[in-house]
Structure 1
């Protein structure tokens, strides 16, 4: 019987924790309808100081301030993602421990033109889904983003599970 009580408590705790993480993810993914830009301030203001991100082409941004500068450069200075739509399609959260969670987020990203948003006739990245893996840690009762990475989902790949 004590095991049943523990399971019920853990389940209730997980739902509350899941809601807190989803609130951060939803805020981050709340794309401005005018600029079509993600809200990185929500993610960064809910992150650890030593948070890091590995972007889609393997750049490793270490620390909150480095991430802030990199996101600003990609979305403001270079404007590579100007008017590019982002749409969160799904989120799965798995709790590794009571204080560590991994969120897998599938986002649809419209076509864009790296490195600066200018169409040169050969540099289009087609619209595609991407999978983001984001690690959260719970500190002082608050969930914080600490590490993330995103990868394009190659629709041509064969799913070995099918």
Structure 2
């Protein structure tokens, strides 16, 4: 699923730096959920077995998280089209500032709903909702602090290599 998402991002944005940033962030998202599940397996007062519900939660987290990353990268593309001559760092900074409030508000409202379902829902959905809670928190953080910096780093390296090449 992660590789397919990387291909999707490459097809959408035509830049492999965004794909690498997305796959890195999505990998962290999924491994964080698996890690929390492993750490809290016997601690939580509900079933936390890795079953079809867990797989569904992981796929839902990947879908939610990819949406966050697409919004961030889409804003970068929009700012880049408006100001094509600006420095790459300023473009990423402006893009991040533009989506910061939206990403945090979306994440917090989703977390609020997930907490309501976790505490008020039945035992059948607790495992799924707990995985979603971890995934949404980590996915929101990685959208802002992993995916974009990785993409920026790769694009900056590409830009520096391009400047060092002899002109024809």
Structure with greater helix percent: 2
TM-score by length of 2: 0.31
- Higher RCO (CA < 8 A, seq sep 6+): 2
